[in-house]
């Protein structure tokens, strides 16, 4: 348990460092709202799609392919999404429902979840985690696009327009484009991979600086109740229900542990980028990311302790 706690801190510490840097840069006037808007668009349209493409490209989609685990993850994710959306309808004003829903179900599995899975289960954790990560990227981006489009003031919400929003989403396009390369082991020139690597490496620092630049005590107070509510759903209710469901379905050992880590991951930074792109309440999105990342160091370790105490992982 101590090792997982230290690993969680190791992962989250750089996140908070970049968030703090964004706060400082905005405070001293080195970045402004125009920079944040432009940089967020760059992340959404260029650097994050590149990161996702390379992540799928380098993943062995045929390794650790477990239909039962993948099937359960799909069902549990859809159920989590439906519950989060239903709760948002009851809990939030209409304009914030898409941001709340996304923050309450979308985890940072590509970074936090995968790293913790590798820490606990080594190569097996990496293999199964990478396959799950590919599924996660497609599911999360599709569902987020749908719920944001329904409540976005700049995106039409009729079924045809929502379908077009999903199909035109740069994150989803990058994942679908990468799958044939990963499945058929199609290589790319070294110079192209290196150039893509430079772009991909910009993604998380730039996104986190933008989030930090958005944060202020006033915005946190304004978003406080809803952000805390969404964070409790994301870090307590969803992991508890999804992990209990996995246990009832007979999952034990590494499979149960990895499923828990993926459902218990804090809200992904991509949720902020998509909120900005949809012209939604990005301050609420930023607050949820910060609160869930803080909570992860506690809730993840409690969950691992309980599962190990029960002898289930």
- CATH code where residue 181 lies: 1.20.1530.20
Which DSSP letter does residue 107 get?
A: B
Short-list 237, 288, 232, CA closest to 99: 288
Alpha-carbon gap, residue 121 to 294, rounded angstroms: 24
Taking the C-alpha atoms of residue 261 and residue 214, their distance in angstroms, rounded to an integer, is 28
Q: What are phi and psi of 267, to 5 degrees?
A: -60, 140
- What is the distance of C-alpha 125 from the center of its chain? 18
Question: For residues 242 and 234, what is the distance between their CA atoms, to the nearest angstrom?
Answer: 11
DSSP 159-226: HHHHHHHHHH-HHHHHHHHHHHHHHTT----HHHHHHHHHHHHHHHHHHHHHHHHH--HHHHHHHHHH
- Ranges in the chain, pLDDT < 70: 1-5, 7-9, 11-12, 59-65, 110-111, 123, 126, 155-157, 217, 219
In 3-state terms, the chain is what percent helix, strand and coil (to 5)? 85, 0, 15
291 Cβ contact list (under 8 Å, min separation 6): 227, 228, 231
How many domains, the chain?
1
Percent of the chain clearing pLDDT 90 (strictly above): 39
CA atoms of 27 and 22, how far apart (whole Å):
8
pLDDT at site 176: 85
Q: What is the pTM of this model?
A: 0.83
Q: Are 41 and 276 in contact (CB under 8 A)?
A: yes
pLDDT tens digits along 42-55: 988 999 889 888 87
pLDDT score, position 161: 76
Q: Which of 99, 100, 289, 111 is nearest to 212 (CA)?
A: 289
What are residue 107's DSSP bridge partners?
Answer: 267
Q: Tell me the residue length of the chain.
A: 313
Domain housing 95: 2-309
User: Distance (Å, rounded) from C-alpha 74 to C-alpha 78?
Assistant: 6
Closest CA relative to residue 266, chosen from 6, 2, 15? 15
What is the SS3 assignment for 92?
A: coil
């Amino acid at each position: 348990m101590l090792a997982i706690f230290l690993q969680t801190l190791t992962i989250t510490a750089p996140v908070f460092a970049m968030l703090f840097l964004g706060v400082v840069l905005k405070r001293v006037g080195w970045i402004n709202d125009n920079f944040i808007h432009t940089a967020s668009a760059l992340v959404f349209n260029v650097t994050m799609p590149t990161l996702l493409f390379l992540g799928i490209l380098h993943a062995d989609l045929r390794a650790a392919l477990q239909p039962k685990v993948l099937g359960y993850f799909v069902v549990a994710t859809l159920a989590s999404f439906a519950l989060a959306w239903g709760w948002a309808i009851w809990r939030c004003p209409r304009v914030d429902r898409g941001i709340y829903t996304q923050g309450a179900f979308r985890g940072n599995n590509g970074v936090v979840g995968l790293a913790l899975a590798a820490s606990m289960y080594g190569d097996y954790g990496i293999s199964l985690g990478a396959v799950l990560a590919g599924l996660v990227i497609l599911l999360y981006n599709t569902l987020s696009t749908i719920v944001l489009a329904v409540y976005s003031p700049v995106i039409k919400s009729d079924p045809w327009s929502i379908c077009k929003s999903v199909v035109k989403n740069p994150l989803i396009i990058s994942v679908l484009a990468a799958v044939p390369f990963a499945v058929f082991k199609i290589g790319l020139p070294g110079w192209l991979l290196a150039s893509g690597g430079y772009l991909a490496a910009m993604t998380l620092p730039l996104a986190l600086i933008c989030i930090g630049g958005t944060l202020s005590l006033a915005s946190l107070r304004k978003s406080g109740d809803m952000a805390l509510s969404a964070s409790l759903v994301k870090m307590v209710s969803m992991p508890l229900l999804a992990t209990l469901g996995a246990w009832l379905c007979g999952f034990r050992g590494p499979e149960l542990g990895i499923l828990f880590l993926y459902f218990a991951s804090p809200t992904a930074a991509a949720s902020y980028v998509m909120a900005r792109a949809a012209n939604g309440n990005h301050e609420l999105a930023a607050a949820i990311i910060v609160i869930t990342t803080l909570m992860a160091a506690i809730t993840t370790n409690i969950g691992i302790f309980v599962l190990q105490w029960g002898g289930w992982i």
